[in-house]
Structures are given as structure tokens and as C-alpha cells.
Chain A
Amino acid sequence: MSDRQPSGCGDAAITGIGMATPLGHDFETVADALLAGRSGVCEIDPCGATREPRQFAAPVKALPDLPLDPPPCDRLELLCTTTAMRALADAGLTPGDGCRVGIVLGQGAEQLKGWEADFLAGGRTVFEGPHGPTIVQRIASRLGLTGPAVSVAAACASSGYAIAMARAWIATGLVDAVLAGGCDVISPLGLAAFYNLRALSRRGDDPERASRPFDRDRDGFVMGEGGAVFVLESPERAQARAATPRGLVSGVGTSSDASHMVAPCEDPTQAARAIRLAMADAGITPEEIDYINAHAAGTPVGDAAEAAAIRLALGEAADSVPVSSTKGLSGHLVSGASAFEVVACLTAFARDAIPATANLEHPDDRCRLDHVAVQARPARVRTAVSNSFGFGGANLAVVLRAA
């Protein structure tokens, strides 16, 4: 396949952020936690999901308290709605009044989570219905959005694909601004399914040290919860209304492994291709990348494959481009992961420092990279790449630039 890509989409400015994450619910709190190495992982009630004596995860604590009428149907809708509302408020944007705002959220398993929440509350929707509109449709209605409302799914890359679609909408003039991102929730069924797949870490004796991306002793990922929603608009429109962008989405690259529905692909070709396509789309060379936020979730095969992909995509520059995975602190937010990791890149822009990979004490020889391990590294970061890889072989890389 050709690596010709430039989409011509140009930059999309990030002018608002709403968050609900294991590390906090606003940009400054989350940035502080990322750079200080504060973990969001803790012991949770497993609700019978696993056979472990102690189950752990990185939940959203102290849920955002916004008055919502009508009340959200479930926790996922609550998180998505509050983050969307906070993003609009952060951007100082009011839908309507000639401003056509769309919404596209990464929702990998909204229906599954909705049926489960209803079932565990004594309902029978999964068996009998009714099946109402999706969360994005309900948010669009609640907030009076007049642009398109779309749910997009690419497993762990879902919210990254949402950002990619939003950028295309802005480029084609379909909307003036877009709410884009995604959230996910920890649920007993999801926890059980990933546990049974042997995808989760079983380091129950030390939860905060369980998520160990790129470490030789990693044994799986830690479920996380929450995510982020951004307001994206054209830089020209942002400038016209005197909005201050936190960063720019400058390039996107996508590909598929076409290898297996679940197992990570050990061949790095397609993942590397997504990274190269994103660089080509943004018009940058490997030497211009100041930071890579890796997908690395802490799985034995996935982390090694990603390290190989980074080396394949960047060539010799891989020796000197700092890499970290923030999943060591946040856990894996699944559908919300890509969006949260954009926040990690924006943190690097804003604070002139790169968040570290927590618990990376003994880097795996198969993951040889310029790791930012354990402690944040001071650095002027103007260009960052965020990788996301998911079930079904979905690969995505996003190039972000400081505004």
C-alpha cells in the first residue's frame, strides 16, 4: 500500500477540554498528577467479576457533580455528558446563535455497557428493549447541538478516531466546531471478560505498581475509567473569537493489522505505517518529534510490538525521541484512552516536561527506546505523537503541535 497520505485537513485547534479521569477532572489537576507520578490505581470491589482475592483498577473517583435534567441513563452517559459540557464551558462556546456544533465520541461498547448497567439494576432491556437513542444523540439533544452526532468505534483507538473524524468535519466545513473524544467505564462484565482473556495484570498485592508498560515484569493492563472530550475548531475561527488553543491536531494516520480479532499483531509493519502516515499528514520528519505518548498498556506482546513499530517508523531517530506511556498511572481507559493521552501530550506542551512511564524499573530488552521512566523529564515539547492500537487490529497515530 502507498504511504501517500496528506489529507489536506490542516490543523484543528483544541480550544476546550472536559475531563473525568482517575487522576482528576480538570487540566491542571491531571497535569500535576501526570508529572508528579501520582497513580489513579486502587483496590476496587470486584463484584464477582474475577477470582482474585483483591481486584484493582483506576476508577473515576468523586464523579463530577453537574445538575442534569433529565438525569443520565447510566454512568457512561454521565461521564460523557459532563465532559462534553465542561469542554464547551472551557472553550467559552455556546451552541446555536449561528454556531453549528457537532459531536463525535469514541464509544467502543456503549450498548453492551448500557445493557449491563440496566441488567445489574434489575432491568431486562437486553432481552426485551426498549432500545433508545445513543449517548451522542442524547447529548446532542440535551445541549441543543445542530451539527452531526456520531458514535465511532475502533476498540482502544475509538476516541482517537473520533478526533480524526472531527478534524475532517472542520476541514470540509460541515461544522463550525466539534465536541470530540470519548469516555469508558469499568464494569463487572468488562472486567471479567478481560480477566478471562488473561489481558489484565494480576499483581494484586501491589496495585499501584501493577501497570508497568515496557517493563520486563509487566503482566497485563489495569482497567481505567473516564476520558476526555475536546472542542475542536479551525485555527482561524478560534483566532476570530479570541480563543486560546491548548494545542493543534496536525496529522492523523490509520491502518489495520488484519491479523486477529483479539491478539496483538507481532508484525509491526501496519502500526509503523500508521505512525508514518500521521507524520506525512502533518508534514513532519521523525527528527521533529519531541515526544511520543505510547499506547503501551503493559501487555507482554503489545508493548514489544509497539516498540518495534516506533523503531520501524522513526528509524535511527527512535534512539533519541523520548517515549512514555501514561497508562502506568491512569490505567487503560479503553474507549477513552486516546483522548486522555492527548491530554498527556498537551501537558507536555503546557509544562515543558514529559510525563513518565510509571513503574518502568527494568526496561524490557525487546522495548529498546528512549524511555522517560519513573520520573518526568524536563523538555521543551512542541510536537508530539500519540499512538493508539486496538482489538480488531485498529491502529491510529495522531500528531499534535503546541499552539
Chain B
Amino acid sequence: MAAAVVEPSLASIDSLRRADDVGPPLPPRFLRHADPQTVAAVRAVQQAAGRLTEDARLPGDSLEGHGVIAAASRLGRPAAGRALDGFASSGGIAVPTTIVPQCSLHAVAGAVSVAFGMHGPNIGIGGGPGAVAEGLIAAASFACDPRPTGGVAGWWLVFTGWECEPPLDVAGTAAADPLVRAVALCVVPALAEEGDFFGSVAITPSGGETPRADAAGDPLAALAAAVRDRRPWSLPLPGGGTATIIPSAAPRRAREAA
């Protein structure tokens, strides 16, 4: 499966902003003002995309035809804290122009799209504690139903959040050094026609009881572990039913098809 998990500590985020990682290059200083979740997400997509290109698993090396669905949880807290503190002490002039584009829910999806030149849709999802489940529902809605895939050659499903929500001081600095977690995986509908998936997401309806939103513990941590182990993973959905991610590592026919 074309996937990657990036889990930097908050203290190491600044070095990750500058790191020249494996995979497609980024525009200069692209991550300078980005939220830690966006930094981790972009690096995760970069790693996974690097593997895609190396393995020649795509029909062409370009990500131009790809779209991105990015489910984030409480994105932008550090910058929002600093901006609010600045606003309270100095008024509107202290509010940075980056607060809207970098701290809104679509920031991760927008950044991935811009960073890698993806012209498919870019969509932010969630924002709160149910972000992973919401992201899977969105993926099933837009990316994995065979009908609405349209001209999108591949979808990047990106999930981000904190390992543990850090308390911040008024400067937006975290007291501890928690992990920022990003999981990126690619679904390629075009290859599905050939019988190969990089990964698939399915929603299975259930008539049973509606599971609690926290029934799976920390779903992002569980998803990250499953992606690392390349094994299927399921999550009960708050609205009923189950979402399942099924990885696949079978590139041969896809490579031939490409």
C-alpha cells in the first residue's frame, strides 16, 4: 500500500519544516507558517508519494490528477492561541495574515494539493474528536464509490492529530512535547479497474446499535499501527455501520497496466 506514517514530536517540527525528504520536492519555504499537523501531513504524503514513484506504480509519475481528503483534529491551536493573545493585547494589527489559510480546517488538504500540484478536489474534514470516522465516510463518499471517482486518478487520504492534546501557554507554546501524528495513504481508482488496489475504503452498514464515538480508543493511533503493519483495519462509525481500510501491496498488474 502506498502509505506513510509520520509522528514527529512537537519539538522536532521546526526541523521537519526544513527537511528535504524523500519524494517530490516542495516549493521553497512552503511549510514556514504551517500548523504542526500540516507539516506532518505534507511529509507523510511526500514519503508515500516517493514510494509510488520509485515503484512506478502509477500510470505516470505526476500527482497532477490526484485529489486529497484530509481529516484533521483541532488544527491550528498553537497559532490560534498566539493570535488571540496578540489580539487581546494589541488589537487587530497583531492578527497574522496566515491565521485563516493555515488554521482553518481545509489547511492540510490545501497544503497537500498546492505542495504536490494535485488538481483533483482538496477537501478538509472533521475538526473534532470524530475526525477519523468522518474522514472515512468522506472517503467512501467521494473516493471509493466507483461512480463519483470521475477523472481523479488517485486520492490521498490524510489523517492528522495529536497523540495527546497538549496544554498551551499564552504564547501558544506546549508545556510538554507531544507527538503530532499524520497518516497518509493513497487510493487509486484507475488501478482498481485492473483488480489491484493500493488501498480501499468500504462502509458496511449495520442495523445494530450505534457504537460510541470512542469505541475504538484512539482511532488515529490504531490506524497508524495498521498502516505500518499493512493490515486491514475497521472503525465503528458514530452513525452506524463500519468503515474498513483494506491495504494491498500487489503492484505487478498495475505496473503492467501502466
Number of interface residues of A (CB under 8 A): 82
B32 to chain A, nearest CB (A): 11
Query: Is A154 in the interface zone, CB < 8 Å from B?
Result: yes
Report the bound CA distance from A172 to B147 in whole Å: 9
**Per-residue interface assignment for chain A, residues 218 to 258, with 1 indicating a CB less than 8 Å from any chain B CB and 0 otherwise:** 00000000000000000000000000000000000011111
Report the bound CA distance from A365 to B88 in whole Å: 43
Given contacts A153-B123, A392-B113, A394-B121, contact A194 B138 (CB under 8 A): no
- Contact of B170 with A256 in the complex, beta carbons under 8 Å: no
- Contact of B92 with A256 in the complex, beta carbons under 8 Å: no
Q: Please, could you name 30 A-B residue pairs with CB atoms under 8 Å apart, sorted by A?
A: A3-B151, A5-B151, A49-B91, A110-B105, A112-B100, A126-B84, A137-B238, A148-B134, A149-B238, A152-B123, A152-B125, A153-B125, A155-B106, A161-B123, A171-B148, A172-B140, A192-B91, A192-B92, A193-B99, A196-B96, A254-B121, A256-B113, A256-B119, A258-B113, A258-B114, A391-B101, A391-B110, A392-B106, A392-B111, A393-B110
Nearest-CB residue, chain B, relative to A262? B101
A373 to chain B, nearest CB (A): 30
A151-167 contacts to B (CB < 8 Å): 151-155, 158, 161, 164-165
- Contact of B151 with A155 in the complex, beta carbons under 8 Å: no
B91-105 contacts to A (CB < 8 Å): 91-93, 95-97, 99-105
- Contact of A259 with B114 in the complex, beta carbons under 8 Å: yes
**Per-residue interface assignment for chain B, residues 230 to 258, with 1 indicating a CB less than 8 Å from any chain A CB and 0 otherwise:** 00000001111000000000000000000
- Contact of A109 with B104 in the complex, beta carbons under 8 Å: yes
Report the bound CA distance from A109 to B101 in whole Å: 10
- Contact of A391 with B92 in the complex, beta carbons under 8 Å: no
Given contacts A108-B105, A133-B129, A154-B124, contact A196 B148 (CB under 8 A): no
Report the bound CA distance from A248 to B139 in whole Å: 24
- Contact of B118 with A258 in the complex, beta carbons under 8 Å: yes
A160 to chain B, nearest CB (A): 11
B227 to chain A, nearest CB (A): 22
- B-binding residues in A (CB < 8 A): 1-9, 46, 48-51, 102, 107-112, 115-116, 119, 126-129, 131-134, 137, 140, 145-155, 158, 161, 164-165, 168-169, 171-172, 174, 188-197, 254-262, 270, 273, 277, 281, 390-394
- Contact of A152 with B239 in the complex, beta carbons under 8 Å: no
Given contacts A108-B104, A196-B93, contact A394 B110 (CB under 8 A): yes
B196 to chain A, nearest CB (A): 20
A271 to chain B, nearest CB (A): 11
B148-167 contacts to A (CB < 8 Å): 148, 150-151, 153, 165, 167
Query: Is B117 in the interface zone, CB < 8 Å from A?
Result: yes
Contact residue among A1, A102, A131, A151 (Cβ-Cβ distance under 8 Å from B74): A131
Query: Is B126 in the interface zone, CB < 8 Å from A?
Result: yes
Contact residue among B83, B118, B147 (Cβ-Cβ distance under 8 Å from A8): B147
